[in-house]
Amino acid sequence: MEREVSLTTSRQVAQALSGNGCRCRLIDPADYLSPQALLEAILSSTPDIVFNGLHGGAGEDGRLQALLELAGIPFTGSRHAASAIAMDKLASQRLAECVGLATPQTFSLRPADNPAGAIAALGFPLVVKPNNGGSSVGITIVDNADDMAAAIDLARRCDSHVLLQRFIDGRELTVTILDQSPLPVVEIKPCAGWYDYKHKYTKGETVYEAPAVLEPGEVQTLQQQALAIYQAMGCEGYARIDFRSDDEANYFLEVNTLPGLTPLSLTPMAATEAGYTFQKLLETIIGVALRADWPSPFNSEQTTKQPTHKELP
């Protein structure tokens, strides 16, 4: 599922950058049998930078980032540590709590664990989700005990570590951080049900309000909370932070370190509202990465690698 989103994002990015005079090569990791073969393909292009358009899996969980870091190749988005923490939903939730954010009551369910205690504590409805994953794949909102076994089985197809979480009946709000600055808040309103994979990537299934209709103080609070977890996690370049909000609090859900850049994606919507063209959004993401320090991992003096890039047109 996320492969199709990755392909769409990458085509959009390549088309926009090529149209602005940049030399681009699309590389699909699925075409290579090993990380070494993929790395050799990347190196053969002598890139100034890798624009990471992958979502989910090894492209977003820190593995590709670690490979590129070890090779000393600059790339867009967060580095391996922040990417790994963000992909681990329980770890990112614990970090959010450390910086004072509210989070839904959550129980960790390993393969040998009995979910009965968690179900009794949470009640229905509740959310069953894989601890690692994205694009709402493997997630179920469960209304009764009869559906629990199937929901847990679905989540375990994505990850053996499953989370049971209190369902927050409130507004779904998201904040993109771009170059350390929060963009306008976007509200997500599925036309029916909840914001699952179908509603995310099917035109007409969801209404988006950009900017969200909120009081100025509410906007400022959400933006401050998003920036707090972004910085605590060590994210770089850009990321999107998702919340569910009710009358009590803004509940942190997750950090997306590689938000989608498709026609229906939330980060371009927020950027447009802030006055960015899609081209300017991409240039900003690339510019942040090119300004960053890229020390050689094998140099004890941590000499910074100086990429031989040209300025964007």
* Identity of residue 263: P
Q: Which residues, listed in sequence order, are joined to residue 88 by a DSSP beta bridge? A: 132
**Looking only at Cα atoms, what is the longest distance across the chain?**
60
Asked if omega into 297 is within 30° of 0 (cis), the reply is no
Cβ-contact 76, 52 below 8 angstroms: yes
Angle at 257 between CA 209 and CA 240, to 5 degrees: 20
First to last CA, the chain: 34
Tokens of 181: 């600055």
Stated length of the chain:
313
- Peptide bond between residue 211 and the one before it cis (omega within 30 degrees of 0): yes
Residues serving a catalytic function are: 2, 135, 201, 240, 242, 254, 256, 260
Identify whether the C-beta of residue 172 lies closer than 8 Å to the C-beta of residue 188. Answer: yes
HSE at residue 96, side-chain half, CA atoms within 13 A, is: 27
CB 229 within 8 A of CB 98: no
- 77 torsion bin: left (phi>0), alpha (psi -120 to 50), beta (else): left
Among 231, 241, 248, 92, which residue's Cα sits nearest to residue 168? 248
DSSP state of 32: -
